[in-house]
Structure 1
Amino acid sequence: MVGTVGADSYGAQLRNNLSAHGVDVSGVDVRDGLKTGIALIVVDKPSGENRIILSPEANHALHAKDFKTGGLTQKLGKVDLLIMQLEIPLETVLAALAAARKEGVSVLLNPAPAQRLLDAAYDGLAHLVVNETEAAMLGGVDVSVLDTSSGCESVARWFVEKGVRNVIITLGGRGVYFMNGGSSGKRGLVPAEKAKVVDTTAAGDTFVGQYALDVVVDGEAFDIEAAVRKANKAAAKTVERVGAQDSIPWRDELVGL
């Protein structure tokens, strides 16, 4: 994992927790004089839906120059897939995309919190994972367009025409729409899994994690539809539990699903 935290108790807690679960945190810098980014999550108990109030703090100390000089660019040559979101400066994201493209590293972008992107961000992007609100904002359409499968298809195709190879649009209780812009040309809507929704926090993160695992493990045999179905089931497990990191299922919990 690459990022920055403050020299405070939150930063130490985050690094220690990741390390205890086998994550290499040597790329997570500790910056003196900065506070670790935090998020306040408010959950509506009747529906399980959440709202997140983000304070980026040290997240914004990861700069574009870190991917243009020093050791971070070299790290990209050693990974199978680079996963990014937009809780770091957009300029940094674009610099990392460029570095990954130069090193031949595939990228999965989950552009949240959503903001409009330059066309260059989509060019050659292997995987784009968005929810319906993000898809509408990035695609420049009203979110109601995504109420139908044909609307989802038109928005997904817009991304494909910009250069994205695989587009995933999560639709909450309606399921997930997917489209492959490559040789398979697979597309369609995978219905939502049945679940007793307690807390939707981390459902999207779980989806991305399971999907990314299939991308890396399956390699050239990767099947977008199969990956979406497995990721959907993993996310359904998450929403049945309270919390963020603690609600994410272990891989062995998904065997046989």
Structure 2
Amino acid sequence: MSATPPRIAVLGSFMQACCWSVDRLPRPGETLRARGFVAEAAGKGLAVAVGCHRLGARVDLLMAIGNDAPADSLLSWLHGEGLDTRRILRCGQPSGHGAGFIGADGDNQIVVHPGANEALGPDQIAAAEEDIASAALLYAQLEVPLDTVRAALARARAHGVLAVLNPSPWQALPDDVLACTDVLVVNAGEAQALLECALPAGRDQRLRAIASALPALWRRWPGNWLVVTLGDQGSAAWSRDGAHHVAAPIPTRIVKTIGAGDAFSAGLCRALAGGRSMAAALETAGACAAWSIAHPGILASLPDRDGLRAMLRTGA
């Protein structure tokens, strides 16, 4: 990675996560006794911002939080982490909240309420234009309003900043949002919706199905890279010019799977912002995801540079 820390702008989201550990996920109408409970700060954009920061990037976090106790705790934690909070908007409504059930096998079910995340609007993006223009990369996700995502991606495009979008939670992407996106990062379920094709279970079959569906996507989307995470099957990336990279998973113990996708995105963004190739970025991203699932917590499980190096050695 580059010696000079790259600057990354992150369109953030904050969810106060409440997670219950259960032997198995509940069926509809069923009540289960939990083995454990934890409440902690989470959120797709927040986790990616923290992950990029720990990996040595200079991060500008654009985010909205409530005027409540979870928001107070988050700000105190971010200050301790050394992450810049000047672009965080405080508003009167409650902070975002999420509830998750985590099974003994690592599977999970999650429900979220956006709360204050809906207050992050195009005005805040306009106020941060100088930060976006100075960034090497902008990362966006869909836990904030689509109009806000649209505004951020458009400003990144106007300033020649690499724009990375994780369309999660999934919703159909308008053409003008796609037009301003350089890199799409999706999981297997989101890939099926994006490509409008079913993905079989096997990795090789999945890769062939995605490759077959790509021409239709390239006709609609002028972007450069589609990155697909495949859980315990690793990840892959396809470019408009025909390049294709596959990264094998790094074997590790599984403590939990919540947050692995955000850890992957943080590693990917840090590597791309630092000028690494897509093949190298996939390797970095996969190592970050593997470290995350092997450690407890959401933000706590995001690796720093020492953790990333240790996991890369494990996968060597």
* TM-superposed deviation, 1:72: 2.1
- Runs of 4+ in structure 1 off by over 4 angstroms are none
1:177 to 225, 228, 236: 236
Q: Structure 1 CA distance, aligned partners of 2:108 and 2:305? A: 25
Q: Which residue of 1 aligns with 2:247?
A: 190
SS at match of 1:232: helix
Question: Which amino acid in the other structure matches residue 131 of structure 1?
Answer: N
Gaps of at least 5 residues in structure 2 are 1-60
Question: Which amino acid in the other structure matches residue 152 of structure 1?
Answer: I
8 Å contact from structure 1 (residues 85, 112) kept in 2: yes
8 Å contact from structure 1 (residues 124, 165) kept in 2: no
* TM-superposed deviation, 1:19: 2.6
Q: Which residue of 1 aligns with 2:206?
A: 148
1:210 to 267, 270, 280: 267
Question: Which amino acid in the other structure matches residue 152 of structure 2?
Answer: A
Q: Structure 1 CA distance, aligned partners of 2:215 and 2:82? A: 37
8 Å contact from structure 1 (residues 160, 167) kept in 2: no
Question: Which amino acid in the other structure matches residue 111 of structure 2?
Answer: I
Question: Which amino acid in the other structure matches residue 85 of structure 1?
Answer: Q
Q: Which residue of 1 aligns with 2:66?
A: 6
Asked if residue 243 in structure 1 is aligned to residue 297 in structure 2, the reply is yes
- Taking only the aligned residue pairs, the percentage that are identical comes to 29
* TM-superposed deviation, 1:65: 3.8
Higher relative contact order (CA 8 A, sep 6+): 2
Question: Residues 158 and 247 of structure 1: is their aligned pair in 2 closer, same or farther, counting only changes over 3 Å?
Answer: farther
Question: Residues 170 and 156 of structure 1: is their aligned pair in 2 closer, same or farther, counting only changes over 3 Å?
Answer: farther
Q: Structure 1 CA distance, aligned partners of 2:186 and 2:64? A: 24
* TM-superposed deviation, 1:143: 4.1
Aligned residues: 248
Question: Which amino acid in the other structure matches residue 169 of structure 2?
Answer: P
Question: Residues 156 and 252 of structure 1: is their aligned pair in 2 closer, same or farther, counting only changes over 3 Å?
Answer: farther
Q: Structure 1 CA distance, aligned partners of 2:159 and 2:245? A: 32
Q: Structure 1 CA distance, aligned partners of 2:108 and 2:278? A: 28
Question: Which amino acid in the other structure matches residue 80 of structure 2?
Answer: A
Question: Residues 156 and 241 of structure 1: is their aligned pair in 2 closer, same or farther, counting only changes over 3 Å?
Answer: farther
SS at match of 2:300: helix
SS at match of 1:77: helix
Question: Which amino acid in the other structure matches residue 225 of structure 2?
Answer: N
Q: Structure 2 CA distance, aligned partners of 1:216 and 1:15? A: 26
TM-score w.r.t. the length of structure 2 is 0.73
8 Å contact from structure 2 (residues 195, 210) kept in 1: no
2:153 to 97, 102, 105: 97
Matches within 5 A, 1:60-209: 60-67=118-125, 69=126, 71-144=127-200, 147-161=205-219, 162-182=221-241, 185-209=242-266
TM-score w.r.t. the length of structure 1 is 0.89
8 Å contact from structure 2 (residues 164, 183) kept in 1: yes
SS at match of 1:34: coil
1:167-196 CA deviation, whole Å, 9 max, x = no partner?
1100111111211224xx420332222121
* Greater Cα shift, 190-199 or 203-212: 190-199
Matches within 5 A, 1:9-24: 9-24=69-84
Asked if residue 255 in structure 1 is aligned to residue 309 in structure 2, the reply is yes
Question: Which amino acid in the other structure matches residue 247 of structure 1?
Answer: S
* TM-superposed deviation, 1:38: 1.7
Question: Residues 156 and 26 of structure 1: is their aligned pair in 2 closer, same or farther, counting only changes over 3 Å?
Answer: farther
* Greater Cα shift, 203-212 or 226-235: 226-235
Question: Residues 157 and 124 of structure 1: is their aligned pair in 2 closer, same or farther, counting only changes over 3 Å?
Answer: farther
Question: Residues 156 and 11 of structure 1: is their aligned pair in 2 closer, same or farther, counting only changes over 3 Å?
Answer: farther
